[in-house]
Structure formats: C-alpha cells, structure tokens
Chain A
C-alpha cells in the first residue's frame, strides 16, 4: 500500500480524500496556491507544498509544479479529486512516466471517453443504448441539417470535447441550424480549444440518472447502484439523491448491466460514473462517462456503506475488489445538497468573499463535507462550492425532512448561499412527488425569491443586536480601557 498520497486539489474534496488516507494510515500532502495559504485543506494535511499563484494555470492546473511537489515529498501516488487535472490524460501519462501512481483510470481510457463522439461509438459497439445522432463530429451545418431531418427536430448540438453545458445549443428547426452551429463551434473553441461539434436528438422531459462503477485491474467490474441528479442550474447539479424516484428493480438491473458493459467496452479501471438520460417511458440513453471521483459520490457511500475513495486507492495499488455485484445492497435513502457561494435570487451569480461566521449542522444521518471555516476568504479564482450537505435516512420522505431540518440549522454568513432556496425546493410538491426532470428549476423555480415570513423577527433581532449586542461584545474588551469619555461608551443612542 502507498505510504504517502499527494492530493492535487483543494477545498472540500481534498479534505474528503485526506480523511480516508488518514483512516488507511497513509500520509497526506496538500498543494496550495497564494489564495489558499490559509485554506482548510492546506492547514489539515500532514505536509503542504506551495505551488504558485492563485490563477489555476499557475497552480492547480500546472503539471510541472504538482509533479515536482510529489517528487520532493516522495509521494507514491497522486489523487486528483474532481475538476482541475482529474480528467487530463496527459497528466495521467506524465504521472506514469515519473513513476507516480495516478489514482484514476489509464490515460488511454481518459482520452477515449473525453472525446464524446468516440465515447458514443465505443458504447454503440458495446451494445449500450446511445441517443440517436452522429458518432463523428461535423464542421458543416448543411450535413447537420440533413442528419437533423433524419432524426427529427428538436436536436442538440454538442461540443465533442464538451462538458458543463459549454458549446451546447438546442435547435428547433432548420432555419436556426446555421447560426446555432456557428455559435456552438465558437463557444466550444473558446472553452476547450477545439471547435468540433456533433449532433444528437434533443430529448424532452428526461431525468439524469447515473451509475457509479468500480473496476479493478483484474477485470472485475461492479456498479454501486444509481444516483438521480436531475435538479440542475446552468447544467450543473445542485441536488442529488439515491435511489432514483423513477427506478424499479427491473430497470435498475437493466441500467446497471448497461453501465458495467460501458465500463468493460472502454477498458475502464478505477472508479467512474456512467451517465444516462432516462425518459418518461423508461427508455434510457448513454450520455457520457465521468472518469473521476464524482462530486456527488457521498450519497452512494451512505446507502451502500462502501468508501469509494478507499476503493479508488486500493484499486490503484493493484488490489482486487473484495466484493461481488451480488453483495452490493442499497439501504435507505440519501440526498445531497451542494452549498455554493452564489446568489439564488440573482441567477445563481457567484458570491465570493469572507465567511464571517459558519455553523455546520449535525445530528443523526447528517454529513457535511466542508472546505471552509469562519474567517476564511472564499477565493474568486475557483469553483464556488463550499460544502456538500448529505443526509441519510430510512426512506425518501424521512431523508427529505432530515435535509430540510439540517439546512435550517446551517448558518453561513458573509457570502450568499442557496440554503433557503434548497429548503423551498425540497419542500415543494413537485420534489416530494418525484416530479424531478432536468428542467425542474427553469420550469418550477425560475425567478425564485425568498419569502419574507420572518421579516418582523429579523427586524427585532436587528434592534436587539444594536441595543444589547454591541455592549455585550465590548464588555470583555472594554475592561482594559480606562480613559473613555461618555461619547465612546454610550454607543448608539437616539431620542
């Protein structure tokens, strides 16, 4: 087993990985940038190596610096977390050539699955259902229009190197095709340095359902059941749950088999996620494979009782999986809410800044994977995720109530967060009845504003804090001051 693992990431996920390393008796090495010199992942690691300026290109995306840090500290392996270099085949290759184990799939697999058209082709050959459309990128809008006519409008133009909704366009009719094609190409070029786009059928009213897979180096592949992640804003998930409301044992078996087939078809090793769209008729289509630890992995850990990071490390160390598909059972229900530093009343606009106060929720079945603390300045250079609140309970109804209660006790001050928004989503009839489709927020929560039910109480608290709070706060400090005038001690007063 490894003695030291360098974690090439920051924030909550770096801390998450560190926890398992510690439990396994493995020393942890953090890397950090200027903006993160006081970050929790830097503070908590056994060793921390400075790798450069705050701009990701100078630090968390800089392969040379991360490899140097690993060599300098004699790390046996690198865990890339999610984002940054986690799905970068060149980085995986580089680790290999430097004799450092990359905790993730082989570089070739990352390459193949990172190209969306190639991935579609692999899946099609492997017998995994894909969304009708092209298996090759296409630079010509006329060819696209021809294909669209064949599969029927509306269609979706997607970037071959894509992800995160960039370079994506829904096209409703032939007249829109040329413009949409050009826009998607230039957006893809700007986001990924590659303007290749392709076309597939646009499916309405779908759920995002994904399967966690684990594959060892001996050819054993299992899936750890599904996660439903339909509730998204800007094509990014904000609430995830398992099991999916739409799942039946038969469908789970069928989709699970497809996920395992997808992993086998691509020669997958380590932990990965096979994403599908599921329509209202129970038909499902391959979307993509994420070749990394997924943000929402904790909900799977809660219901299967399997530590996915531990599995990743064991697989990377060459150990076989120590359970078979039949031994994997899901118990109860888990929900995750992503707590981003953003303003739900203003199009989820980022809200960086100093966290003046944070109180994390606790209680039975409550887990908060958090990367910040009171007094920490949330940097503007990185992803705005500050924590993931996860709950586990006997069933969906109990889990929903547990999440609402946990959110109501979660206090984050100094930056904006979607806590109140998430509470309203969970309390909504649509959510409780499982009417969760990928357009959930646009159709049910567009232009959301927090209700003002407790505004009177807030006004009273303001006045109490003005009248008594200040005096109380100063009482401890003021003892040492002797030469005060009444004007300094009186505080705010009015007539």
Chain B
C-alpha cells in the first residue's frame, strides 16, 4: 500500500507492506520540492507494533539488529491525527483521502476572509456597512484567552455586510465582515485578462 502523508510541514511518501503478527515493512521518502518528482533517499523500516490503548501505540523499530521501542500517543482531530512522540507533536494528514473528499482539508485556507483563527469573542467593530476600507485597515477585534487580536482588511474595498455583533462568540470559518474588493484592486490582481 502507498500513502501520501503530510507530517507537519513535510510531504512524506510511504510504501508499506503488512507482515504477519503485527509487523510492517515500510520504505519512506520525502519530496524535496513541491511539484517535482525529486525525492530523497529511501529510509527502510522494519517495525512491529502493539496497540496498548485507544490513544497509545508501542512500536518496535529494528535498527541494525537492535530493537528500539517507540511509545506514541494518537488523537484524531478534524485536520488529521495528532501524534506525540517523546514530547514532540506531529499533525499527520492523508493527502490522498483529502483529495478524494474534494477539498484541501476540513479547514479552508482563508487569508482573504475576515474570520478568527480560534474560537473567540468579538470586542470591537471598527467599520460600518458602506465604509470604504484600505488594505491593512483594522476591521474587527476579537479576544480569546485574554489576548486581543485585530483582523485587518485583506484588500482595498467596501464593507458589504457585518455578520456579527459585540460580545458575540464566533468560530474559525465564520465570515465576520464581508468586504467587496474595489474595482481597482480587482483590475490589479487579474490585470492580464482585462488587457
């Protein structure tokens, strides 16, 4: 079986064969650059595993004839599995199943939208409907765990709609303020087609 995984920031390709009695033989390489077929040298692994509990896996890795025990902890989340090994944390996503689902993952990449990074409470709204705003201008301030964050306009434009109010609880993905991109800005980003 082959897996295309993303482990934190690395893209990792795993070719794995299940062996008898909870064993695995795997070869792992990683993409050096995105969009190329250049891979690193393959690392070969001969492992044996035991499922200790719902969250704990013991893996024994054969290293030049010596068996090294690795205790790992696993937790499923909306973006993939978080795996803890010796105090280090890895978010592991299966790129293939995500592709099959038709999305980049459950959390859309939204740098152009006014949405909070974590669950938060709205503390200030700096604009009103109809306001013209410039890129970088303060739009709305939210607070989470005593830390205030200001979300700014991603581009020049006009405030179309405000979908929240002061003291309202909001979540990532929720669009708090809708801004219509100004024509000049649109021309800027899609300049070639207009020409």
Binding site for B on A (CB under 8 A): 55, 341-342, 349-353, 356-357, 359, 380-384, 407-411, 413-414, 416, 419-420, 423, 449-469, 472-473, 492, 494
CB-nearest residue of chain A to B26 = A460
Q: B51 in the interface, Cβ–Cβ < 8 Å?
A: yes
- Chain B residues 8 to 32 lying within 8 A of chain A, measured CB to CB, are 8-10, 12, 14, 16, 18, 22, 24, 26, 28, 30
Q: How far is the CB of B16 from chain A (nearest CB, A)?
A: 6
B119 neighbours in A (Cβ, 8 Å): 352-353, 380
Query: B3 near A461 (CB under 8 angstroms)?
Result: no
CB proximity of B172 to chain A, nearest CB, Å:
11
- Whether the pair B118, A352 counts as a contact (CB closer than 8 A) is yes
In the complex the two chains form, is A465's CB within 8 Å of B8's CB?
A: no
A463 touches B55 (CB 8 A): no
Contact of B7 among A411, A420, A459, A492 (CB under 8 A): A459
A350/B118 in contact, CB under 8 A: yes
Tell me, rounded to whole Å, the shortest Cβ–Cβ distance linking A171 to chain B.
Answer: 24
Cβ-based interface call for B82 (8 A): yes
Q: A55-B121, A381-B121, A413-B73 are in contact. List 9 more A-B contacts (CB 8 A).
A: A350-B118, A380-B120, A383-B145, A410-B87, A413-B82, A460-B45, A463-B3, A468-B51, A469-B74
11 contacts between A and B (CB under 8 A): A349-B117, A350-B145, A352-B119, A413-B84, A420-B88, A452-B90, A457-B61, A461-B72, A462-B7, A464-B59, A494-B1
Q: Let me know if B70 is at the binding interface, CB within 8 A.
A: yes
B47:A460 contact, CB within 8 angstroms: yes
User: Beyond A455-B7, A458-B92, A459-B12, is A380–B118 a contact (Cβ under 8 Å)?
Assistant: yes
Residues of A near B145 (CB, < 8 A) are: 341-342, 350, 352, 380-384
The A-contacting residues of B in range 67-119, CB under 8 angstroms, are: 70, 72-77, 81-90, 92, 94, 97, 117-119
A466–B49 CA distance with the chains assembled, in angstroms: 13
- Whether A460 touches B14, Cβ cut-off 8 Å, given contacts A383-B145, A414-B75, A455-B8, is yes
Question: In the complex, what residue of chain B is closest to A350 when comparing beta carbons?
Answer: B145
CB distance from B170 to the nearest CB of A (A): 10
Q: Are B8 and A452 in contact (CB under 8 A)?
A: yes
| Contacting residues, chain A, for B49 (C-beta < 8 A) | 464, 468
B54 at the interface (CB under 8 A from A): yes
Residues of A contacting B76 in the complex (Cβ-Cβ under 8 angstroms): 356
A420 pairs with B5, CB closer than 8 A: no
Residue of B nearest to A340 (CB): B145
**B194 is an interface residue with CB less than 8 A from chain A:** no
Overall SS of chain A's interface: mixed
B118 touches A349 (CB 8 A): yes
B93's nearest neighbour on chain A, judged by CB, is A462
> Contacts A352-B118, A414-B77 hold; do A420 and B55 have CB atoms under 8 A apart?
no
Taking CB atoms, residues of chain A closer than 8 Å to B94 are 462, 466
B118→A465 contact, CB < 8 A? no
Q: Is the CB of B16 within 8 A of A463?
A: yes
* A3 and B16 alpha carbons, distance in the complex (Å): 64
**Min CB distance, B120 to chain A, in Å?**
6
Using A455-B7, A462-B5 as known contacts, say yes or no to A450 and B55 having CB atoms under 8 A apart: no
Asked if B147 lies at the interface with its beta carbon under 8 angstroms from chain A, I say yes
Which residue of the partner chain A has the closest CB to B68? A457
Q: How many angstroms from the CA of A39 to the CA of B193 in the assembled complex?
A: 57
Q: Which residues of A contact B47 (CB under 8 A)?
A: 460, 464
CA–CA, A138 and B83, complex, Å: 54
Does B121 lie within 8 Å of A461, measured CB to CB? no
Question: Is A352 within 8 A of B144, CB to CB?
Answer: yes
- Structural contact, A456 and B43, CB atoms closer than 8 A: yes
A357 touches B87 (CB 8 A): no
List the 7 closest A-B pairs by CB distance, nearest first: A413-B75, A458-B90, A350-B145, A408-B87, A384-B145, A462-B92, A455-B7
B66 CB within 8 Å of chain A = no
Q: Is the CB of A383 within 8 A of B146?
A: yes
Give the Cβ gap from A10 to chain B, nearest Cβ, in Å: 13
Residues B28 and A459 in contact, CB atoms below 8 Å apart: yes
B57 at the interface (CB under 8 A from A): yes
Q: How far is the CA of A482 from the CA of B117 in the complex (A)?
A: 43
B85 contact from A356, A380, A457, A492, Cβ within 8 A: A457
Residue among B16, B30, B92 with most chain A CB within 10 A: B92
Q: Do residues B87 and A456 form an inter-chain contact, with CB atoms below 8 A?
A: no
Q: What distance in Å separates the Cβ of A121 from its nearest Cβ neighbour in chain B?
A: 30
In the bound complex, what is the Cα–Cα distance between A456 and B121 (angstroms)?
39
Residues of B within 8 A of A380 (CB): 118-121, 144-145
Assembled-state Cα–Cα distance A55/B12 (Å): 44
Provided the pairs A351-B118, A380-B145 are in contact, do residues A461 and B74 lie with their beta carbons within 8 angstroms?
yes
A240 to chain B, nearest CB (A): 19
User: How far is it, in angstroms, between the C-alpha of A467 and the C-alpha of B14 when the chains are bound?
Assistant: 14
By a CB distance below 8 angstroms, the chain B residues around A341 are: 145
Instruction: Give the residues in chain A near B57, CB-CB below 8 Å.
Output: 461, 464-465, 469
Q: How distant is the Cα of A450 from the Cα of B89 in the complex, in angstroms?
A: 8
The closest CB in chain B to the CB of A419 belongs to B87
Minimum CB distance partner of A348 in chain B: B147
Minimum CB–CB distance from B88 to chain A (whole Å) comes to: 5
Interface pair A454/B90, CB less than 8 Å apart: yes
**Chain B residue at minimal CB-CB distance from A164:** B146
* A353 CB contacts on chain B under 8 angstroms: 118-119
A356 lies within 8 A of B146 (CB): no
B75 to chain A, nearest CB (A): 4
B188 to chain A, nearest CB (A): 29
Alpha-carbon distance A454/B8, docked complex (angstroms): 11
**A494 proximity list for chain B (CB < 8 A):** 1
B49 to chain A, nearest CB (A): 5
A475 to B71: give the CA distance in the assembly, Å. 22
* Most interface-central of B3, B30, B90 (chain A CB within 10 A): B90
**Cβ-defined contact, A459 with B84, below 8 A:** no
